[in-house]
Amino acid sequence: MTQNQGPYDCIVVGTGPAGMICALALAAKGINTAIVGPAPNLEDSRTTALMAASKEFLVNIGIWSALEQDFTSLEKMRLIDGTNRLIRARETTFDAAELKLPAFGYNILNKNLNRLLGDLIEQTDNLTHVPGTISAVRSDAKTASVTMAGGAKLQAPLVVGADGRRSVVRECAGIEVETWTYEQSALVLNLAHHLPHYNVSTEFHRETGPFTLVPLPGRESSLVCVERPEEAERLKKLSDEELALELEKICHSVLGKFEVISERQVYPMSGLKALKLAGNRSVLIGEAAHAFPPIGAQGLNLSLRDVAVITDLAERTKKQDGDLGSEDVLKAYEKHRWSDITSRTSAVDLLNRSLLSSALPVQVLRSIGLYTAATISPLRKLLMREGIAPSWRLPRLMRSS
């Protein structure tokens, strides 16, 4: 990292994966960037799956080669109706080879991803890590001023808020949010298993929510098990041996005997959507703008589409000697991202609520939908492509070069 004291072109607030990738992307495009936040979290045992379009973005900004050895490819996605309802959907497997892709996506431990991104930030020119938190963002006709918790100030034409659900950047821009909750919690942990996963991600759709096994290196997988809150807490308190046996029974031993190999974490399920995406010389990305249940590996992939768009806009504006935080840039960002964020948030919410519903018409529609997806090839391919990223408006930096 080259220590730059400013002036900066952009200040990214937040050192989660979305914030760090955003800072690296901006720096790669010649944008003098500061990233503000604590040291990367190296204790997070959850995992993140990046879809093929997100991988293409990392290739295009020059950082994929530094990350790829820690990823496990997801070559197939297997959906199984694990309910005991009257009408059950047929099992469906989607294969990336049908799209002539080596994989739908790539899975990595969050602590490994954060470590690798943190190392890249330290090595990157045009990029300065400023440790700490912020207390305010104010703007005028020419610049945004970010006040650190200790009183120091940083200035830049543009601020990117990647500071999560309780975003200070969003609050200072006066942007309100819509929030909602579910009677569900996600139990998250990692497992070793006796049978190979063959790079197949397996998702059981159950009355309480999805039970998803995502491949890790060797004979290991990450698990997201969505349950009623009280059941998630009960499972968390079991011994390793008791928990492994219960989880194995839930998925009918599809990967053989289980062994718990990480701590257990429980997260209440909820959703959030900002009612605007920009203001106060700031744009919102990631969970500062949108958050929803961990279904279909959509979270960080949606965030990286935010990153790809603001990076492209910032690069083009800088080349034209324009104002990176101008109303034109903010409006262009919001216009480009609004429909994708709205449609994905609604789709994940609808899918999750359809799993919880015991209404017969909902069961019939889910069953018909999965049957159609399994048997009609053009529709299968369309669903697979759109699951990776919206083809109708894929950001320029996510396209194959």
Tell whether 247 is covered by a domain.
Answer: no
Which secondary-structure segment (H or E) carries 114?
helix 110-123
Tell whether 347 is covered by a domain.
Answer: yes
CATH number at residue 50: 3.50.50.60
Domain limits for position 289: 10-72+106-178+270-357
Tell whether 397 is covered by a domain.
Answer: no
* Percent of the chain surpassing pLDDT 70: 85
Q: Which residue has the tokens 């496990």?
A: 72
Tell whether 130 is covered by a domain.
Answer: yes
- Please, which pLDDT band fits residue 209 given cuts at 50, 70 and 90? confident
Among 89, 93, 83, residue whose Cα is nearest residue 370: 89
CA atoms 21, 281, 168, 224: torsion sign: negative
| Distance separating alpha carbons of residues 25 and 307, to the nearest angstrom | 8
Is 80 exceeded by the pLDDT of residue 164? yes
- The answer to whether the CB of 7 falls within 8 A of the CB of 156 is yes
Tell whether 28 is covered by a domain.
Answer: yes
CA atoms 38, 41, 42, 43: torsion sign: positive
| Distance separating alpha carbons of residues 220 and 88, to the nearest angstrom | 29
For strand 33-36 and strand 127-130, is the pairing parallel, antiparallel, or unpaired? parallel
- Give the burial string for 320-332 (b: 16+ CB within 10 Å, else e): eeebbbeeebbeb
Q: Look at residue 2 in the predicted model and tell me its pLDDT.
A: 43
Sheet of 278-279, strands arranged across: 127-130, 33-36, 10-13, 158-161, 282-284, 278-279
Q: Look at residue 7 in the predicted model and tell me its pLDDT.
A: 84
Is 80 exceeded by the pLDDT of residue 352? no
Q: Look at residue 397 in the predicted model and tell me its pLDDT.
A: 95
CA end-to-end span of the chain: 27
Q: Look at residue 384 in the predicted model and tell me its pLDDT.
A: 57
Q: Which residue has the tokens 């480009």?
A: 336
What does the pLDDT look like over 78-112, one tens digit per residue? 988 866 654 556 678 889 998 899 999 999 999 99
- Please, which pLDDT band fits residue 356 given cuts at 50, 70 and 90? low
Q: What is the mean pLDDT of the chain?
A: 89
Average pLDDT over residues 39-57: 93
What does the pLDDT look like over 294-344, one tens digit per residue? 765 678 999 999 999 999 999 999 999 999 999 999 999 999 999 999 988
Report which DSSP code applies to 199: T
Number of domains in the chain: 1
Tell whether 52 is covered by a domain.
Answer: yes
- Please, which pLDDT band fits residue 353 given cuts at 50, 70 and 90? low
Average pLDDT over residues 21-45: 96
- Please, which pLDDT band fits residue 5 given cuts at 50, 70 and 90? low
Q: Look at residue 400 in the predicted model and tell me its pLDDT.
A: 82
Residues contacting residue 277 through CB under 8 Å, at least 6 positions apart: 175, 283, 284, 289, 333, 334, 337, 338, 341
